[in-house]
Amino acid sequence: MAKVYGGGEKKTWAVVSGGSSGIGLAVVKRLATDGLNVVIVALGDALLEKSVGELREEFPRIEFRGIGADLSKPPSEYLPDVIKGTADILPRVVFLNAGECKHAKHRTVYREKRKIVISALLLSPRFVFPSPQDS
């Protein structure tokens, strides 16, 4: 990952949704091991704060940011915080590890929720990332 997207001195950033626990946290740790700084977008709760604190201790040379966001809500409710929290960086890697899917008729509920999650990334110019060759 670091060979393709940079890392270390370049201050390369990644964004991981749902990165405060489980598979998302494992992804965050792998990115940090590869030298990438990481923005964690997850529910704004004590677990996010705890995870970011522990990550800073485990990887003292890596920068971590925690942004509280409930991705089950409309993008208008959480996107401003995500945009504000990433305004000064340009992430090169995004892992979508969180969102919401309710069990119902696939063609109705799932499509709508999927549109919300995808739009969260596409509505913000901060989430339209150039390829490494563009830099």
Tell me the per-residue pLDDT of 82-115, one tens digit each, with 9 for 90 and over. 888 988 888 888 888 886 554 444 445 555 555 5
Closest CA to 59 of 41, 40, 33, 38: 33
Closest CA to 39 of 101, 124, 113, 132: 124
List, in order, residues 6 or more apart from 111 with CB less than 8 Å away: none
Average pLDDT over residues 110-132: 47
Cβ pair 51, 21 in contact under 8 A: yes
Residue 110, Cβ density class (10 Å: 0-12 exposed, 13-18 middle, ≥19 buried): middle
**134: confidence class by pLDDT, cuts 50, 70, 90:** very low
pLDDT of residue 92: 83
pLDDT of residue 117: 53
